Structure formats: C-alpha cells, structure tokens
Amino acid sequence: MRRRIALSVLTLLLLAPSLATAKDRVCRTDPLLVGPCFSLRGVLFAANGAPTFRIQRTGTKRILGIRDSEDPVMPEDLHARLFETGNAFGVRVSADYLVCPYTRGRAGRMQFVCIESASHMAVTREAR
C-alpha cells in the first residue's frame, strides 16, 4: 500500500510542470521553438476552426496561428482584454506583438506562434 502511494505521489510530482496553465508557461524559452522571436504589428482575433486565435499582420494577408488555442500562451494583460466580456469572439486587439515561432514561415501555410508580449493595444468589439 505504501509503495502504491509513494508511486502515485512521485508520478504527480513528475507531471506537475506539464499541468501548468498557459499563464504560467513562457513563450520565449519554450524548447519547441524553431527560430528567433520577431516583432510585428497586427490584429489578434478569434475565429471558428483551428487554431481559434490568430493574428493578421497589418498590411498583408498573412495569418499567424496561436498554438494551444484552448489554453493559448499569451501575456496575462492581453488575455484579460481579449476575454473582458467573457467571450473572445467579436473582439479584435490591434497591437505591436513579439511572437515566437513553433513552425517555419512558408508561403500559403499558416505559421504557428506563441505571443511573448503585446504593447500599444487597442481593443475593438463588433456590434451585435
């Protein structure tokens, strides 16, 4: 019995880091990144499909997908503004973003990123 309890406790301790929420995780130091972080001006929005959260780069048709849409890695202040009304759909956050890539940029393909920081944020909501 003691052995089973000890094994259960050890398993929980080993899994604890992977159970962290997105707000606890960091973007820039994620070992899964494939390149250096980069800055851009864009609009963050929620869309139907996967990934849910996307950034459209200002002045282009380029769309970046935010990895882990159900629990996106993004700064807490950005998350708060996006979900201020409880629902992110219809909310658009224009900002200067620092994003880090999980996939390489390829023409015609969505690049997956996480958001390290956002500054100069302006939030707009669609009228219902």
Residues of the chain with pLDDT under 50: 3-23
pLDDT of residue 70: 74
pLDDT of residue 69: 65
pLDDT of residue 14: 40
Give pLDDT tens digits for 56-92: 999 999 999 998 867 788 999 999 998 888 888 999 9
Domain ranges of the chain: 22-125
pLDDT of residue 100: 97
Alpha carbon 25 to its chain's center:
10
> Which residues lie across from 40 on neighbouring strands?
97
Indicate the pTM of the whole model.
0.77
